[in-house]
Amino acid sequence: MKHLLRFLVLALSLPLLLFPLDLLNHFEYHLLGSLADGVVVGEWYLVAFNILLFTSFLIPLSFRRKVDWREKGLVAAFFTSLFIEMYGLPLTIFLIAGALHPTTPKPHIYATSMLLGVPLALSIGMLYGLILMVFGAALILLGWVTLYRNTSKGLVTSGIYSISRHPQYVGFVLVVFGWWVGWPTLLTTVFAPVLIYKYVRLCRAEEKEVGKNRMYQRYMKETPMLI
């Protein structure tokens, strides 16, 4: 299983090697505000749908410990701000575009899709971000299922927990990182590192709570905290 994880990490890194110029164009196009002319505006039902969908990941993330509403509030604020910018009112994008007057060409479109009747054009950066998000969501759900099936066993070290002590948090970091890759605006560039830092710190805080347990100390020696 550890070899499979290494293979997946390598596979997730391939777009960086295969499409470096396309990814650079994608980041410039978003960060400098060039997408202002083509951004979706006023689709508030999409805003609501996506906020509900992605904040639902907080449910399995809360399975292992008491809920800290400050952490959950920060996550909810991230997704709320993100989807308002993507589908509702992209105020920061308009402000940056108005200040910089960018001329970055539109990234090459590799795929098109529809989301609740709204057409979407996907560049390599968006596709790469989507892959990261799907993989991250799978880790969150797999971690939750593993914990649920072993609720009576105390310390869970089997399955996905045999290759990472915090696979759900790894999954959450991938979801946030995937959104930053797919939509690298000023908003996500500021918010994403804060969220990732908070959840890495949360991993360490959880480990302090159980660090004196001998079984967990042995588990720490055998299994990495994240990857």
pLDDT number for residue 84: 93
Please determine, for residue 8, whether its predicted confidence score (pLDDT) is greater than 90.
Answer: no
Q: How far does the chain reach from its first CA to its final CA, in angstroms? A: 12
pLDDT number for residue 39: 84
Please determine, for residue 149, whether its predicted confidence score (pLDDT) is greater than 60.
Answer: yes
Domain ranges of the chain: 2-222
Rounded mean pLDDT of the chain? Answer: 85
How many helices (H) does the chain have, and how many strands (E)? 10, 2
Q: How far is CA 165 from CA 67, 87, 218, in A?
A: 19, 36, 12
Residue range 177-192: mean pLDDT, rounded: 93
Question: Which two three-digit tokens encode residue 126?
Answer: 């968006």
Residue range 69-80: mean pLDDT, rounded: 80
Q: What is the pLDDT of residues 125-135, one digit of tens each?
A: 999 999 999 99
Spatial distance between the Cα atoms of 25 and 185, rounded to a whole number of angstroms:
13
pLDDT number for residue 151: 75
Task: DSSP letter for 153, please.
Answer: G
Residue range 75-102: mean pLDDT, rounded: 89
